[in-house]
Amino acid sequence: MARTALKLGPRTFGPDELVIMAIVNRTPDSFFDQGATFADEPAFAAADRAVAEGAAILDIGGVKAGPGEEVTVEEELRRTVPFVAALRERHPDVVLSVDTWRHEVGEAVCAVGADLLNDAWGGVDPELAEVAAKFKVGLVCTHAGGAEPRTRPHRVEYPDVMADILERTVHGEAERALALGVPRESIIIDPGHDFGKNTRHSLEATRRLPEMTETGWPVLVSLSNKDFVGETLDKPVGERLLGTLATTAVSAWLGARIYRVHQVAETRQVLDMVASIRGTRPPAVARRGLA
């Protein structure tokens, strides 16, 4: 199926455009930054810096993905809603995404200007897609293999991991979202690296990304500093950037379009280089051999 434009809030992205989604965690216990953007001032600074470095989407998360202290709906609302409202005024031309699986949070953030709901837990709350349809905002449909939110995989098995990804994200969540009224051009699918998967599953999902891109739905990959990178290279969280960027380059070559990342500037360079090799972006300058 031919790739089409992606429309999210104030932005329309062309079929060949490689888009960065910058992570801004409003949590005190993030696995990567350990709460560096939990307070408002550093969070706004991080958002401003991400936009300046080339992020077109800001993804706001109020709950750590992994196990940890319980975060109630009320606390998640407190962490995200005022921040999203303030960002809407601060960055009117940037796409605002919220990483949540709860429809109550989705409803509240859409009411103050969110453009995209990033459901990282595979539709565990079916009402979240209904919220996206109600507000006509975008929806990320992620494969989590049926895992419960904030759980780690344990001896999970798939007869064919990509077949399961396609069945759940495309024939399950994406087609359901479309039927509910979420705009076709605003639905995204995500293989869900690490979510409900071991390292070998995530590596296989990466090399088989063309099977996702061939469906015509825009593909998002969330690779940044994840455990599958760390285990593959035997590196701790703080030493996974090179592995992340290598995986980013491969994913871009294989057709993924949106990249959820911590390190924007480095990712932007990788994506621009891949696009130029592919022939969809001219070099920034071209002097060699011309003088």
Average pLDDT over residues 257-280: 98
How large is the angle between the packed helices 103-111 and 127-135, nearest 10 degrees?
Answer: 20
Does the pLDDT value for residue 2 go beyond 80?
Answer: no
Dist. CA 270–CA 227, nearest whole Å: 21
Three-class secondary structure of residue 243 per DSSP = helix
Dist. CA 75–CA 284, nearest whole Å: 45
**DSSP secondary structure string for all residues of 145-172:** TTPPTT----S---SSHHHHHHHHIIII
Q: How far is CA 43 from the centre of its chain?
A: 18
* Other Cβ atoms closer than 10 A to 100: 29
Does the pLDDT value for residue 8 go beyond 90?
Answer: yes
Write down the pLDDT at residue 34.
84
Write down the pLDDT at residue 178.
98
How does strand 116-119 pair with strand 57-61?
Answer: unpaired
Q: Would you say 115 and 10 are in contact if contact means Cβ atoms under 8 Å apart?
A: yes
Does the pLDDT value for residue 233 go beyond 90?
Answer: yes
- What mean pLDDT is reported for the chain? 97
Could you report the per-residue pLDDT of 75-89, keeping only the tens digit for each?
999 999 999 999 999
Where in the sequence numbering do the catalytic residues fall?
Answer: 226, 260
Does the pLDDT value for residue 1 go beyond 80?
Answer: no
Of the candidates 7, 53, 3, which has an alpha carbon nearest to the alpha carbon of residue 272? 53
Per-domain boundaries in the chain: 14-278
DSSP tag of 186: G
Structure tokens at 25: 């965690």
Three-class secondary structure of residue 13 per DSSP = strand
Window from 27-36, 90-99, 179-188, 251-260 with minimum mean pLDDT: 27-36
Could you report the per-residue pLDDT of 139-179, keeping only the tens digit for each?
999 999 999 999 999 999 999 999 999 999 999 999 999 99
Write down the pLDDT at residue 291.
74
Could you report the per-residue pLDDT of 116-143, keeping only the tens digit for each?
999 999 999 999 999 999 999 999 999 9
Dist. CA 182–CA 175, nearest whole Å: 10
Predicted confidence band at 192 (pLDDT cuts at 50, 70, 90)?
A: very high
Could you report the per-residue pLDDT of 30-72, keeping only the tens digit for each?
889 888 999 999 999 999 999 999 999 999 999 999 999 999 9
**Residues composing the chain:** 291
Write down the pLDDT at residue 31.
87
Give me the amino acid identity at 16.
D
Average pLDDT over residues 233-244: 98
CATH architecture of 14-278: Alpha-Beta Barrel (3.20)
The torsion angle over the Cα atoms of residues 123, 129, 130 and 133, rounded to 10 degrees, is: -170
Provide the percentage of residues in the chain whose pLDDT is more than 70: 100
DSSP tag of 219: B
Cα Rg of the chain (Å, integer): 18
Predicted confidence band at 3 (pLDDT cuts at 50, 70, 90)?
A: confident
Dist. CA 267–CA 272, nearest whole Å: 9
Give me the amino acid identity at 255.
G
